[in-house]
Chains A and B, each alone.
Chain A
Amino acid sequence: MAAIAERLTSIWEETPGLASWLTTVDHKRIGKRYIATAFVFFVLAGLEAMVIRVQLARPDQALVSPDAYNQLFTMHGITMIFLFATPILSGFGNFFVPLMIGARDMAFPRLNAFGYWVFLFAGLFMSFSLIIGKAPTDGWFNYVPFALTHYSPGLNIDFYGLGIIFIGISSTTGAINFIVTIFKMRAPGMSINRMPLFVWAVLSTAFAIVFALPSLTVANVLLELDRKAGFHFYDVSHGGDPILWQHLFWIFGHPDVYIIVLPALGMVSTILPVFSRRPIVAYPYVALSTVAVGIVGFGVWVHHMFATGLPQLSMTFFSAASMMVVIPSGIQMFAWVITIIKGRPVYTVPFLFIIGFIVTFLIGGLTGPMFAAVPFDQQITDSYFVVAHFHYVLFGGAVFPIFGALYYWLPKMTGRLMNERLGKLSFWLIFIGFQVTFFPMHIMGLLGMPRRIYTYQAGLGWDVWNMISSIGSFILAAGVLAFIVDYFFSVRRGRPAGDNPWAADTLEWAISSPPPAYNFESIPHVRSREPLWEQPGLPEEIRRGTAGPVLDEGHATVATSVLDADTEEILEMPGESSWPVVTALGMLVVFSALLVSHLALAAVGLLIMAWGIAGWLWNTGDVTTL
């Protein structure tokens, strides 16, 4: 037993030191990095929001200039969407998908490392704009013609256009990696109908990224060609069309809501049954609705454009589609609630965040179909009601589950339990703070307050609600602070977590906390949907090396078939490499050069990239995977 662990450690453990920090391909280290980096961006974007709330607390304030305000609300949106929500969920996926499916790494470990570096560099690239006071000023939606050179001459919008293309590379490689990992790396016996629901959700999300992101990339390529090279895609005077941007943007933008919410819903479907002490009700319906949301989400983008003067027939069609997309979420909502009813709930901190999620996401889900009702949408779109709605959906639907997931999974990642008292304090502050901040925004919107205004006149009935909302934001911030304190306290002083502190059912809880470099001593053979509940002896078998193949003669894991997870072959996995970070650095040079229109420098960047890719592929690609 100890001998197996020793042999596997010598194969899988990476060399310590700074070099290894740059060359690691361990999905757990990369996952932690994604989560930590994304959380820093969350705090930054939260601070931006605090400035916004202070500015709007009272009418006619001039805490920040209009230009600074526009930079702040733009960066708040971009950072939350592209640098926090998507990557942190990617981080959880990185850390836990291989563990939940019984694999030793992602399908393409080096591509995984590359994805992180690109995310980090693209995040720094975009955030740098705020430091030099040249952040984008046209919101995350970046409508043209305001975003064209004539109205936005500086580099501000170029940080957006190039930064979004840049970070899209990270999301795309990540999505491809998740799909192949989930298709090919599941432990023998984990047929597709036994996958944990979080894995289902990551799979749907990855497909949504593959099909949605190209639209955003194209939109921004056209934008940058218009801005930097004098093309005319959006220029009315030369046959272009500003509405083209809106179509391309929202064909990505609406599915992106699901790209953010789906993995979070998958977390809920994974965590909630653990604390209800029973398997989830209606698993096949929940799994299929995860897929359905991913698909139907592509048919609803036009409801963001109901006020642009579209033909009535097209509005009717998209109104119907937008209402349809509610149904898969409804299925999941009732599956969760009925699971709680039929279970024996245990009120731990992660479960509190899940209940907070249900309440908040429910409200967001109830105001959602209102926007599918065309006349109401035309009245209320671009008002604060929308701000309220999408914060209920995105904060409710993603941030509450993310905090739940942090409390649930951090013990596995760090080996130490979080503090329950601080956790409960954090939950109540975040829950109450959230409702106080965002519920009044429904009312402000109905009272006619438009979005994206840096100030407002007194006496329009908006003053009280803005003040309440601003106070709420401080309560919310205190809750996040309590979490941060809890984390730093627990990571040093917390009680040891043990392998399975929550008595959970999925495979990541079969191994020690934190998991060893090789994950599983032997790759388990999975016989059910809740392996640790139905195969109670499994952790012991894994440890003794009798659960399945040990593979202690090389850097190897098992590949299985897509649907039934029958063993197909033993895969030799690549080890540490410096090529991913070199390639990503080359890209950073290319994008920075394009930003300042320095073509020679861009060529140098391309050469660095080519060098990185060549070095990367020379010894791999035929013998092992990327």
Chain B
Amino acid sequence: MALEYRGRYDAMSSSFAPTATTAPDARTRESGWWGMLLFITTEATIFGVLFATYFYLRFKNMPVWPPDGIKQPTLGLPLLMSAFLLTSSIPMHIAELGVKKGKQTWLKAGLAVSFLLGVGFLVIMLGFEYPEKLKEFTPQTDVYGSLFFLITGLHGTHVLVGLAMNAWAQVKAARGRFDQAHHLTMLNVAAYWHFVDVIWIFVFLTLYFSPRF
């Protein structure tokens, strides 16, 4: 059935004046950047839920934490890991500035240094930190072990993904696919890497530092 519109709406137009079309300004964000931001938001929420889970189970198991005679986590290796991971954000930022300013050397060198620091983090984690912990407890020992290995393992996986993205950006950079106007991949790789670094601060504070209190 066809209907006809019989209203009188000229007098009822919306109370907002039409906006003029303006030229794009510096604050313009590409869709891809928004996409990455929201992806990071989802991931950050996942980590947030895991930290909440950690403290929920910890306070349920009060006053003994870690339970079952597991020792307080030592801070030496984790601090070294932090040093590697947190400094890796600096060359990543340099790479980002480089691509924006058209300096391909900054871009390539920044990515490479950041990559090596990230690999260093994983080597310490898998080569020294995990074997030491596994001697004391495993994920199957109790809920503390389950939490420790899930959260650090998930973060380590994120480092690995970040490194894969970095490698991807290096390949693209080597083939000269980035210039001052086209470098969304680079922006997103950097954003993800900074996110992985920031999450590590929370992993460190939660898993290594908080049991002392």
Residue numbers of A with Cβ under 8 A of B are: 107-108, 111, 172, 175-177, 179-180, 183-185, 188-189, 191, 193-194, 210-211, 213-215, 217-218, 221-222, 225, 229-233, 235, 238-241, 244, 247-248, 251, 277-279, 344, 346, 348, 417, 420, 498, 501-503, 525, 527-530, 533-534, 559, 561, 564-569, 571, 614, 617, 621-623, 625-626
Contacts and interface: CB of A to CB of B under 8 A. Distances in A.
30 contacts: A172-B42, A175-B38, A176-B42, A180-B31, A188-B21, A189-B21, A193-B16, A210-B42, A214-B42, A214-B43, A225-B146, A230-B139, A231-B139, A239-B57, A240-B143, A247-B56, A277-B5, A417-B1, A420-B1, A530-B9, A534-B9, A534-B10, A564-B19, A565-B19, A567-B24, A621-B32, A621-B188, A622-B177, A622-B182, A622-B184
Nearest to B139: A231
B20 A566 contact: yes
A494 to B, nearest CB: 11
B177 A218 contact: no
B51 to A, nearest CB: 10
A566 B20 CA distance: 7
A218 B53 contact: yes
Interface in B149-175: 150, 168, 172
Contacts of A230: 139-140
Given A238-B143, A278-B7, A569-B24, A559 B31 contact: yes
Contact of B31 (A244, A502, A625): A625
Which of A177, A189, A218 has the most CB atoms of chain B within a 10 A radius of its CB?
A: A218
B178 interface: yes
Interface residues of B, number: 61
Given A180-B38, A623-B182, A239 B143 contact: yes
A626 to B, nearest CB: 7
Contacts of B32: 621, 625-626
A533 B19 contact: no
Given A172-B42, A501-B3, A503-B4, A533 B9 contact: yes
A166 to B, nearest CB: 15
B56 A232 contact: no
B143 A210 contact: no
Contacts of B144: 239
Contact of A107 (B35, B48, B145): B35
B130 to A, nearest CB: 16
Contacts of B143: 232-233, 235, 238-240
A405 to B, nearest CB: 17
Nearest to A168: B42
Closest 5 CB pairs of A and B: A239-B143, A503-B5, A231-B146, A214-B45, A214-B46
Interface of B: 1-7, 9-10, 12-14, 16, 18-22, 24, 28, 30-32, 34-35, 38-39, 41-43, 45-46, 48-50, 53, 56-57, 60-61, 67-68, 139-147, 150, 168, 172, 177-178, 182-185, 188
Contacts of B35: 107-108, 111, 176-177, 180, 625-626
Contacts, number: 175
Contacts of A528: 13-14
A35 B162 CA distance: 36
Which of A111, A348, A625 has the most CB atoms of chain B within a 10 A radius of its CB?
A: A625
B53 A232 contact: no
Contacts of A108: 31, 35
A221 B67 CA distance: 23
Contacts of A498: 2
B18 A622 contact: no
A534 B45 contact: no
A622 B34 contact: no
A529 B49 contact: no
A248 B10 CA distance: 51
Given A188-B21, A193-B16, A622-B185, A277 B142 contact: no
A403 B129 CA distance: 58
A210 B140 contact: no
A607 to B, nearest CB: 13
B36 to A, nearest CB: 9
A571 B10 CA distance: 34
Given A211-B41, A622-B183, 19 more contacts: A107-B35, A180-B38, A184-B31, A184-B34, A189-B21, A210-B45, A225-B146, A238-B142, A239-B57, A239-B67, A247-B56, A278-B7, A501-B2, A534-B9, A561-B28, A566-B20, A571-B31, A621-B188, A622-B177
A621 B38 contact: no
Contact of B6 (A191, A279, A344, A567): A344
Contact of A501 (B1, B49, B145): B1
Contacts of B18: 189, 527
Nearest to B188: A621
B9 to A, nearest CB: 5
A348 B4 CA distance: 13
Nearest to A548: B21
Nearest to A418: B1
Nearest to B149: A231
A617 B185 contact: yes
B19 A502 contact: no
A419 B64 CA distance: 70
A370 B47 CA distance: 35
A277 B21 contact: no
A184 B2 CA distance: 34
